[in-house]
Structure 1
Amino acid sequence: MQLYKLFAVLAALQPALAKSLVDFSAARGDNPSILGLRNLESVRDTKLDENTKDLYIKLDKDPKGTPALHFHRKKDYIRAEYHSLKNQIEVDKTYYIGYKFSLGAIQQIKLQMLTAKSKEYSANSHGGANIPLSLEFKSGKLNLQYQASGDAKRVSQWSKELKTDTVYSIGLVINTSRPGWVELYFDGEQQTLSSGSTRLKANTFPGQADPKFGAYRGEEVQIDTYVYNIQIGTTIDDIKEAAGLGSSPKPTATSNPTPVPTCAWEGHCEGATCTTENDCSDELFCKNGKCTADGAVPCSWEGHCEGATCSSENDCSDELVCKNGKCTADSTVTCSWEGHCAGAKCSSHDDCSDELACTDGVCA
């Protein structure tokens, strides 16, 4: 499910004009078309113009009877998402996105259900597209991941276990620059990221980057997810309802905030002495005898990193594949969507795997 494959929440603004850019409420009965372009794809290369019983995005109610925008995708189908604020990007701006949602019944397997994504379509160096920032639900956890460049691996910056049939709120603050920065709110509380800081320094303006919301990939299961509010704006007040902010917290004011030395297991936080990863709290790892959130951590799914035993790709974390019974980042694996890798024919960016863009009729 996509929030963003996060997440840059970017939009063009009239100079010196602060205003809400997107404000969708299922409770008000808003037409989903205000979110932008609807993308429905059943089997590969088969795009639909209208909802069907097996693939749709429509105003509905969640299992508890609350009005919601219902994203439904049958098993083996590929995409049900909205593409917002297409081509509306400005550098050196700060944008805010709020997203209130719940998940229907799902299986605990490896899949990529993106709750929000920001896809770079026009890179400013060497061509190619990547997903700079994404919120992905897989293996029972919502992960905020960052991909620094098209040839870099995605690295988990934060994760949270989620339950089905439970309403959650996400808030993102994104400064678009090179480097820019990102801050995250979960259920109204600002989150500390794996670096120990509340702010991630990142390349958030690699080129055209558009927000998308919905269900993409994870074809192994049927997907039902419910969205109550989506808000995108230029101040934090623009997203208070969707992000679950009862008041207006102020984002960190400095580019290099002091790290917050906190974790769920006191005495086992970043910098504590360790001999194995079991000695460290949360998402920390044991490296050179110290608990650390080093970006060099091999993957976000402990026990399923490179070198782990596997029988299929669902046994491996992130972008790893199962080869000869081991999880590996084999360079011969060209992209995450077979048949849509570099060199494949295309008519639009959506015909290409996540990392690629359609250039002159060819994925590149």
Structure 2
Amino acid sequence: MLPRQRAVRYPGSFLHSREITTSGHFEILQIAVSCIRINLIKGSQTRSTSPTQSFLAMRVLSFLALLLPFASEAKLLLSYDAAAGDAASVLGRQDLEGWGGTKWPSGQGQNASAFFTTAKDPNGVPAAHVHKDAHFARSEYHMLVGQTAASQTYYIGYHVSFGAGADYESCPIVFQWKNYNSDTVDTDNIPALLVFRQGSTADQYIIDFAAEADPTADQNISQKTLWTKELTHGTAYRFGIVINTSPTAGYVQLYFNGRLSTMISPSTGEHTTKYAGNFWPGETEPKVGLYGGQATNACDSYVYGVAIGTTLADIADVAGIST
């Protein structure tokens, strides 16, 4: 598994004070390969390299060359780790909405009624504390703003627990793959989401993974439930959401606590681990936090980690997946 995207400083001459991220490891391998090649050439010219040294250097060079394609394939797009002290702002752009869905005043930051900030959960574990008061509509972070595209596969890891009030009435939506394309948003507002639904009893908390496979559907709220699970308040869960944005061969997948989930097709009843459809109605981007409900209860959630990448390995740690 590739390391998470965190800047580290490498001592030494040509790497002194250079910040390297996950995507920068490809650059390091390229530099290492180049250095070995240069030393081999110099050694052969000056005859200062023994046959054994040349042989070993060539073996190392061959090994590093094999690693280059793998290093270039993976790309960690976003990483938030509360335990490392990350500010919630690394997630992207904060979105807040006030009483009854009123627009948040321009230039006004979060306050006690709606916030999303790195702190601790009720057990003292580092986490981003997400909160919105009763009747308030939204406390979210909008991620990968302007960075998504068609015909890509996005892997999203989400480690989170839900406090009292996160339910069907007060805070139903805790993850959304949100459409920002004005031409299609009226018929396909949220192509995929994690959403609480009403249980058979007041103390039953059920979460659905739902999706809309057809952007041309004639209803704004037309997502169909693919997977459902009863959750417990205060328990941390790990989600891995995979979204392929091909308009003709797209699909979604869900990992729950590290295991690939079986979903049920709403149209055929078929059991599948890869639900096909078009989940790219245009400019569509991920959001985490609390949204909707606006009922009489305040609600809270606690986000321990988020990762978004281009391979399953990028989110394995956050989503609890063994690769």
| Structure 1 and Structure 2 fold alike (TM over 0.5) | yes
Of 237, 255, 280, the residue aligned with 1:168 is 237
**Pair 1:131–1:125, CA change in 2 (3 A):** closer
2:96 counterpart letter in structure 1? L
SS of 1:27's partner is helix
Paired with 1:113 and 1:125, the residues of 2 have a C-alpha distance of 23
Structure with the larger RCO, 1 or 2 (CA within 8 Å, 6+ apart): 2
Aligned residues of 1:81 and 1:216 also touching (Cα < 8 A) = yes
SS of 2:271's partner is coil
RMSD value, Cα: 2.2
Alignment of 1:275-294 (within 5 A): none
Aligned residues of 2:134 and 2:170 also touching (Cα < 8 A) = no
SS of 2:315's partner is helix
Q: Which residue of 1 aligns with 2:225?
A: 156
Q: Which residue of 1 aligns with 2:102?
A: 45
Of 206, 222, 227, the residue aligned with 2:303 is 227
Paired with 1:64 and 1:126, the residues of 2 have a C-alpha distance of 40
**Pair 1:109–1:237, CA change in 2 (3 A):** closer
Note the alpha carbon deviations across 1:130-155, whole angstroms, 9 max, x for none.
Answer: 21111112321111111233524221
Paired with 1:232 and 1:177, the residues of 2 have a C-alpha distance of 18
Alignment of 1:73-92 (within 5 A): 73-92=132-151
Q: Which residue of 1 aligns with 2:161?
A: 102
Moved more, 45-54 or 102-111: 102-111
Note the alpha carbon deviations across 1:298-334, whole angstroms, 9 max, x for none.
Answer: xxxxxxxxxxxxxxxxxxxxxxxxxxxxxxxxxxxxx
- Structure 2, unpaired ranges of 5+: 1-22, 24-71, 199-204, 265-269
Paired with 1:241 and 1:157, the residues of 2 have a C-alpha distance of 25
Q: Which residue of 1 aligns with 2:3?
A: none
Shift of 1:98: 0.2
2:236 counterpart letter in structure 1? V
Question: Is the aligned partner of 1:18 residue 2:74?
Answer: yes
1:196 counterpart letter in structure 2? H
Of 43, 66, 70, the residue aligned with 2:125 is 66
2:125 counterpart letter in structure 1? T
Question: Is the aligned partner of 1:115 residue 2:162?
Answer: no
Paired with 2:92 and 2:310, the residues of 1 have a C-alpha distance of 18
**Pair 1:121–1:66, CA change in 2 (3 A):** same
Moved more, 204-213 or 132-141: 132-141
Aligned residues of 1:111 and 1:137 also touching (Cα < 8 A) = no
Paired with 2:77 and 2:167, the residues of 1 have a C-alpha distance of 35
Of 271, 285, 304, the residue aligned with 1:210 is 285
**Pair 1:146–1:47, CA change in 2 (3 A):** same
Q: Give TM-score, length-normalised by structure 2.
A: 0.68
1:184 counterpart letter in structure 2? L
Alignment of 1:110-149 (within 5 A): 110-122=169-181, 129-139=188-198, 140-147=205-212, 148-149=214-215
Point out the structure with max Rg over C-alpha.
2
Moved more, 69-78 or 89-98: 89-98
- Structure 1, unpaired ranges of 5+: 1-12, 249-364
Shift of 1:128: 5.6
Q: Which residue of 1 aligns with 2:318?
A: 242
Paired with 2:110 and 2:175, the residues of 1 have a C-alpha distance of 21
Q: Among the aligned pairs, what percent are the same residue?
A: 36
Paired with 1:127 and 1:244, the residues of 2 have a C-alpha distance of 36
**Pair 1:109–1:17, CA change in 2 (3 A):** closer
Of 168, 188, 197, the residue aligned with 2:258 is 188
